[in-house]
C-alpha cells in the first residue's frame, strides 16, 4: 500500500466549488478547482524513489486513472572497521550524484554499533562515500606523586633499606 498525499499548489478561495474528483487506485472526493501535486511513497522500499504527478482540475471535472510511476532508486550499504577488523562508529557522507566531478547533493548519516550504514533513495549516478572516524584518544602520561596519609604533619623518614 502506498502512502499518498495531495499538496495544494493553488490558493483556494473560500467558497470555491468542491465538486471535482481525482482517482486512480485511490479517490479524492470534493476537490476544489486548481493545481495539485500528488506524491506517493513506497514505505520500506529503498529501491524506489517517490512518485510525483502534477494535475489541474476544473469545476465539476473528474480525472480518472491518474497513474503514478515510481522511479528506481538505489542503496549503498557498507561497514566501517578499524585496521584490526573491529567495527567502529563513524560519520558517513554520501556525495553525489557526480556530474563533471562535482556532487550535486550530500546525505549525512552515522554507522551503528556494528559499523554498518545504509544510504538509500539515491538517484542514478556515481557517488563518493566519505567515512570519518572519531579521533582515537591518546594515552596520557602517568606521573607518580608522593602522597601522605591525611593528618600527617611531615613526611615519614626513609630508612636506609628503602
Domain count, the chain: 2
Residues 67, 7, single domain; the answer is yes
Each residue's pLDDT tens digit, 28-87? 889 899 999 988 877 655 556 678 889 999 999 999 888 887 777 778 899 999 999 999
Nearest to 115 by CA among 130, 135, 133, 127: 133
Q: Which pLDDT does position 159 carry in this prediction?
A: 60
Residue 161 lies in a domain: no
State the residue range of the domain holding 51. Answer: 3-72
Residues 9, 63, single domain; the answer is yes
**Predicted TM-score of the model (pTM):** 0.47
Residues 31, 20, single domain; the answer is yes
Residues 100, 66, single domain; the answer is no
Ramachandran bin of 87, using left for φ above 0, alpha for ψ from -120 to 50, beta for the remaining angles: beta
Amino acid at each position: 500500500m502506498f502512502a499518498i498525499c495531495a499538496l495544494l499548489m493553488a490558493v483556494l478561495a473560500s467558497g470555491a466549488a468542491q465538486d471535482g474528483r481525482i482517482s486512480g487506485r485511490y479517490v479524492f472526493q470534493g476537490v476544489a478547482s486548481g493545481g495539485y501535486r500528488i506524491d506517493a511513497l513506497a514505505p520500506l522500499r529503498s529501491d524506489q524513489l517517490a512518485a510525483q504527478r502534477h494535475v489541474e482540475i476544473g469545476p465539476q471535472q473528474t480525472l480518472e486513472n491518474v497513474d503514478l510511476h515510481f522511479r528506481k532508486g538505489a542503496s549503498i550499504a557498507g561497514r566501517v572497521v578499524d585496521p584490526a577488523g573491529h567495527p567502529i562508529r563513524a560519520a558517513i557522507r554520501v556525495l553525489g550524484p557526480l556530474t563533471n566531478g562535482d556532487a550535486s547533493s550530500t546525505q549525512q548519516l552515522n554507522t551503528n554499533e556494528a559499523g554498518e550504514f545504509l544510504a538509500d533513495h539515491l538517484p542514478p549516478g556515481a557517488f563518493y562515500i566519505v567515512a570519518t572516524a572519531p579521533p582515537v584518544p591518546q594515552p596520557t602520561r602517568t606521573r607518580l606523586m608522593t602522597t601522605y596519609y591525611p593528618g600527617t604533619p611531615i613526611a615519614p623518614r626513609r630508612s636506609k633499606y628503602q
